[in-house]
Amino acid sequence: MNKTGFDHQRYIEEQSKYILERVNNYDKLYLEFGGKLIGDFHAKRVLPGFDENAKIKLLYKLREKVEIVICVYAGDIERNKMRGDYGITYDMDVLRLIDDLREYELLVNSVVITRYDDQPSTNVFINKLERRGIKVYKHRKTKGYPTDVDTIVSDEGYGENPYIETTMPIVVVTAPGPGSGKLATCLSQLYHEYRCGQSAGYSKFETFPVWNVPLKHPLNIAYEAATVDLKDVNMIDSFHFDAYNEVAVNYNRDIESFPVLKRIIEKITGEESVYKSPTDMGVNRVGFGIVDDEAVREASKQEIIRRYFHTICDYKKGYADKETSERIKLIMDELNLKESDRKVVEPARVYSAKLKENACKAEVCSVTSIELCDGEILTGRSSLLMDATAAATLNAIKHLANISDSLHLISPVVLEPIIGLKRDKFGSKNTALNCEEILIALSISAATNPTAQAAMEKLSELRGCQAHSTTILNTNDEQTFRKLGIEVTSDPEYPTENLFYNF
């Protein structure tokens, strides 16, 4: 499970050098950062050995030359778009991002609200930022975009946007997720810089797809799975091949927009663009950090299966459309992947089927399995006392601590008041304890019970483990597993027939 396929240190050194070389060509470089600046768990999963905070550590290394501009699309704020790996909305992720950047001693210049149109929820968010001393800029939809270059590069187009005053030679433009207006913000700044007589450049730092890895490599196909809702498709960069007779991989949106983007940059600068292809615009060197291709291939296949489960569950919840769920299935078929290729899936399903054969009520037949780093797979079932994730977690840490399965770690003296609180004071329809509640109870028991303390100390060993549930997890259990570092998937089935009271 933990076979290393990526050299983090080699990557940091190569990437830092390449960015600085690009900066030397300009007075100021606007660097569009795609993907996650902090907590890039997708990259960590598909590139075993990759540090999920590699990008922020890279910027920390360059911090004397860097300042950050954060973009967020007003429409994403209005519809409460979620960042899946943290379970928080995009506006909250902006706040989290600012705090994290400050911890790394990086200068946060401002937040840009893109495609702003006086939306009510967005105005509340702007007030929240400004009253905490954060500069906010509002960029409305660019007139003439994307085809009328003469209007775009004019006082009616980019000229309508307020100029963001920056001081550092590298301005990193980042966002909570895709479609946040990073590119438009970079180009708007370029327009204003050249109007002021400054030499400025634009480059893109996008980790995926990896341009110097084959088109149909599982690593690049995993990117398609990760962006299945955006309908991104990896393609050979024809512009790059025509210019250099070299095969490079890019994705459809960048390739399709390149001719217009090139014309916009040439209109702004008044000279021929140095970029011959969308790949030229990138500064990504992640492909040079791969040291074990087979390990990366296997990790990428597992990520595709994981994305598949998340997508079909999102379809069941109503968050994804039928086309998206069908497309993720096609991606699975392309690599001949099956649900059971995720080793933790079948043990949960087999145990669940066995429970149902024994006339178990549907409500208590949820099963969660956890695959430990040594390959051992433990299961847990839901009951009147606790849900399946809690049971599986207890069984896993008991196994790691060599504690007998028959031994109870938590005293009824601790459990009963919690159940009574949920039932009598909170009026909960389901008194079974979730994973977080069970772990809190375990921590209380650990104060007086050395065996419980021994089990508690094994929780850190669950980080990086895989899990699967036969039913869709509730938000609390998803977040608890996320905090523990457990990668969990679910079958697209609810634990009960209830529409609101699903536990």
pLDDT of residue 202: 95
pLDDT of residue 2: 61
pLDDT bucket at 340, cuts 50 / 70 / 90: very high
In a domain, 463, yes or no: yes
Tell me the C-alpha distance between 441 and 369, whole Å.
Answer: 21
Residues 157 and 266 both lie in one domain: yes
**% residues pLDDT > 90 (the chain):** 76
In a domain, 332, yes or no: no
Q: Give the chain's mean pLDDT.
A: 92
- Cα Rg of the chain (Å, integer): 25
207 has a pLDDT exceeding 60: yes
Residues 280 and 389 both lie in one domain: no
Q: Which of 272, 289, 306 is a domain's end point?
A: 289
Domain range for 430 is 343-490
357 has a pLDDT exceeding 90: no
Tell me the C-alpha distance between 368 and 387, whole Å.
Answer: 9
pLDDT of residue 444: 92
In a domain, 480, yes or no: yes
The pTM of the full predicted model, rounded to 2 decimals, is: 0.90
pLDDT of residue 398: 96
In a domain, 348, yes or no: yes
Residues 267 and 353 both lie in one domain: no
From the CB of residue 430, how many other CB atoms can be counted at a distance below 10 Å?
19
The side-by-side arrangement of strands in the sheet containing 107-114 is: 136-139, 107-114, 66-73, 170-174, 28-33, 200-205
| Unique residue bearing structure tokens 């300009």 | 26
pLDDT of residue 502: 63
In a domain, 101, yes or no: yes
pLDDT of residue 265: 94
What is the number of domains present in the chain? 2
Residues 99 and 212 both lie in one domain: yes
Strand, helix or coil for residue 401: coil
Residues 378 and 453 both lie in one domain: yes
177 has a pLDDT exceeding 80: yes
Tell me the C-alpha distance between 54 and 466, whole Å.
Answer: 23
pLDDT of residue 87: 73
Query: How many residues are listed for the chain in this entry?
Result: 503
Least confident of 129-133, 335-339, 418-422: 418-422
Higher-confidence residue of 165 and 361: namely: 165
* Residue 213, phi then psi, degrees to nearest 5: -115, 145
363 has a pLDDT exceeding 60: no
How do strand 82-83 and strand 88-89 relate by DSSP bridges?
A: antiparallel
On the question of a cis peptide bond just before residue 495, with omega within 30 degrees of 0, the verdict is no
Tell me the C-alpha distance between 59 and 19, whole Å.
Answer: 10
What are the tokens at 128? 């929240």
Q: Which of 254, 272, 289 is a domain's end point?
A: 289
Average pLDDT over residues 413-424: 88
Residues 482 and 350 both lie in one domain: yes
Q: Which of 289, 304, 324 is a domain's end point?
A: 289
pLDDT bucket at 343, cuts 50 / 70 / 90: very high
Q: What is the pLDDT of residues 450-475, one digit of tens each?
A: 999 999 999 999 999 999 999 999 98
pLDDT of residue 39: 84
Residues 84 and 199 both lie in one domain: yes
Q: Smallest Cα–Cα separation from 415: which of 437, 393, 436? A: 437
pLDDT bucket at 426, cuts 50 / 70 / 90: confident
1 has a pLDDT exceeding 60: no
Torsion of CA 307, 115, 199, 268, to 10 degrees: 110
Average pLDDT over residues 336-350: 97
Q: What is the pLDDT of residues 88-103, one digit of tens each?
A: 899 999 999 999 999 9
Residues 207 and 347 both lie in one domain: no
Helices (H), 335-423: 345-357, 388-400, 412-420
Residues 172 and 254 both lie in one domain: yes
Residues 16 and 104 both lie in one domain: yes
In a domain, 208, yes or no: yes
Return all residues near 494 (Cβ < 8 A) that are at least 6 apart. Answer: 316, 471, 472, 502
Residues 90 and 206 both lie in one domain: yes
Average pLDDT over residues 41-64: 92
In a domain, 134, yes or no: yes
Residues 256 and 351 both lie in one domain: no
pLDDT bucket at 411, cuts 50 / 70 / 90: confident
pLDDT bucket at 362, cuts 50 / 70 / 90: very low
**% residues pLDDT > 70 (the chain):** 97
Q: What is the pLDDT of residues 12-43, one digit of tens each?
A: 899 988 888 888 888 899 999 987 888 889 99
In a domain, 214, yes or no: yes
| Unique residue bearing structure tokens 């599982």 | 218
Q: What is the pLDDT of residues 257-283, one digit of tens each?
A: 999 999 999 999 999 999 999 999 999
Angle between helix 475-484 and helix 435-446 axes, rounded to 10 deg: 50
Domain with residue 457: its CATH number is 3.40.140.40
Average pLDDT over residues 313-322: 93
pLDDT of residue 342: 98
Domain with residue 36: its CATH number is 3.10.630.10
